[in-house]
Amino acid sequence: GLWGMAVGAAAFAFGPAWLALPGVVLLGLACAPVYPMLMSRTPARLGDALSAHAVGFQVSAAMLGGVIFPLLGGLLADWIGLDAVPVMLVATVLALVALNAALERRTA
């Protein structure tokens, strides 16, 4: 899902105009399984004893991200212009890919 998000965000941000809509569609479809997968893998990564607390933190972080990232996108669009939003999406997806790689290394 993360690599699909990266390809979709890059197509939206840097591709030709005709590729923007398919890029957004791919980005959205690739985002869909990420959150449930993280939730379902939590007991395997942390064990049953910590799972309930970890899932609570994950839900809190998701809600906080749901507030902060649209706010950040709006501020960037106001300060720089709408061209900043696709670049912010690419940066966010690349940060997610890096965080996932670090998490995979740590739990392997």
Distance CA 86, CA 92 (A): 10
Least reliable range by pLDDT among 44-53, 61-70, 89-98: 44-53
pTM for the full predicted model: 0.78
Burial class (CB in 10 A: 0-12, 13-18, 19+), 104: exposed
Which pLDDT does position 68 carry in this prediction? 93
Q: What does the pLDDT average to over 59-88?
A: 92
pLDDT greater at residue 107 or residue 14:
14
